[in-house]
Amino acid sequence: MFRTATLLGSLALAALGLASGPGGNAASPARFQTEARAPFTPASFRFPKPPAEAPGAAPDAPIRLTASDGTGLALVALEANGVLEPPLAFTELHLTFENPRDATIEGRFRIALPPGAALSRFAMKIGEAWQEGEVVERQRARQVYEDFLHRRQDPALLEQEAGNEFSARVFPIPARSRKEIIVSYSHSLAREDEPYVLHLRGLAQIGRLDLRVLLGDRPAAGAPVSNLGGEARDRRVIELHKRDWTPDRDFEIGQDQVSGRAGLRNGSLAVVRVTPTVAATPQEIRGLYVLVDSSASRALGWSTQVRRLADLAAGLRDG
């Protein structure tokens, strides 16, 4: 029998103190050891689809600049430029926020990037000049920030939060003015059916939205431009422009917009997306340990992890 071998990164099913929750005291792994009542074949179990959001539940904004009192600043302009060269994609965001207050304020900028994304640039405009930033360890960021605070200038330091979220303190944001921020990143598209996605859902009304994505090659004939429409120029560039728009979905472009290629090459460097097909016979699993990381670092999405563990345990018993 043939089956597709799929590489799963960071898969460590952990059950060290599940009942205590993240950061709690870990229970002994032996407590979770179980002998299957009958030989279990891995191919017989599949995770169910993630639970749907509750009706009316508002998704978290993927991009936000929040004042120290928790008030969000309006995103008056979002300009995005992307390049789609499967299996890689590159995105640059030029964000403009507005401070409507009569006082200079400090804010916290946060952005959620795609899984596995590599940040290449973070910069913010101070006066008429751009201050280039860097990603640093959090404690070092605080020390540098406090030093720059005395000079009343932001050092543009970006801190990595849990998962793929990055944040930065922003100061000063002058009264009745706009703060401009640039973020660029690259990420890989692991599967052929994985679209290029720019996360917009959850954002409040955007005054001006301008998206432009350069395609690395000509698309398949008859392929739609994007899930939000837009105009394709010579089938090489996809553009989308909206005014005073509240996003109700993300912006997506399928890889069918680009003719199929196995990978990219530049000199002696190459990146290739490979799905190996191997001949294999399912192996019986007669006993196993299941481990769950319950440290505080896993607090984000903890309830989802618990549900997935319950699904796995049920699947093992049913198998």
Q: Per-residue pLDDT tens for 232-249?
A: 655 578 999 999 999 999
pLDDT in tens, 112-147: 999 889 888 999 998 889 988 776 555 555 565 556
- Which one has a higher pLDDT value, 285 or 248? 248
Q: Are residues 189 and 304 in the same domain?
A: no
Q: Are residues 158 and 237 in the same domain?
A: yes
- Which one has a higher pLDDT value, 81 or 58? 81
Q: Are residues 110 and 134 in the same domain?
A: yes
Question: Which pLDDT score is estimated for 147?
Answer: 60
Q: Per-residue pLDDT averaged across 68-74, rounded?
A: 92
Q: What is the mean pLDDT of the chain?
A: 75
Tell me, yes or no, whether 123 lies in a domain. yes
Q: Which uninterrupted H or E stretch holds 252?
A: strand 251-253
pLDDT exceeds cutoff 50 at 20 = no
Amino acid at 108: R
Q: Are residues 239 and 98 in the same domain?
A: yes
Q: Band the pLDDT of 34: cuts 50, 70, 90.
A: very low
Total domains in the chain come to 2
Report d(CA 314, CA 182) in Å as an integer: 46
Q: Are residues 197 and 95 in the same domain?
A: yes
Encoded tokens for 225: 């431009």
Q: What is the CATH number of the domain that holds 139?
A: 2.60.40
From residue 219, how far is each of 2, 213, 232, 241 by CA, in Å? Answer: 31, 13, 10, 21
Q: Are residues 190 and 238 in the same domain?
A: yes
Structural domain boundaries enclosing 28? 2-41+282-318
- Which one has a higher pLDDT value, 292 or 32? 292
Report d(CA 23, CA 308) in Å as an integer: 19
Q: Are 252 and 196 in contact (CB under 8 A)?
A: yes
pLDDT exceeds cutoff 70 at 162 = no
pLDDT in tens, 262-281: 678 888 888 887 777 777 77
| Percentage of the chain lying above the pLDDT 70 cut | 64
pLDDT in tens, 180-229: 999 999 999 888 888 999 999 999 999 999 999 998 765 555 556 677 77
Enter the pTM of the model.
0.63
11-46 as b/e: b if 16+ CB within 10 A = eeebbbbbeeebeeebbeeeebeeeeeeebeeeeee
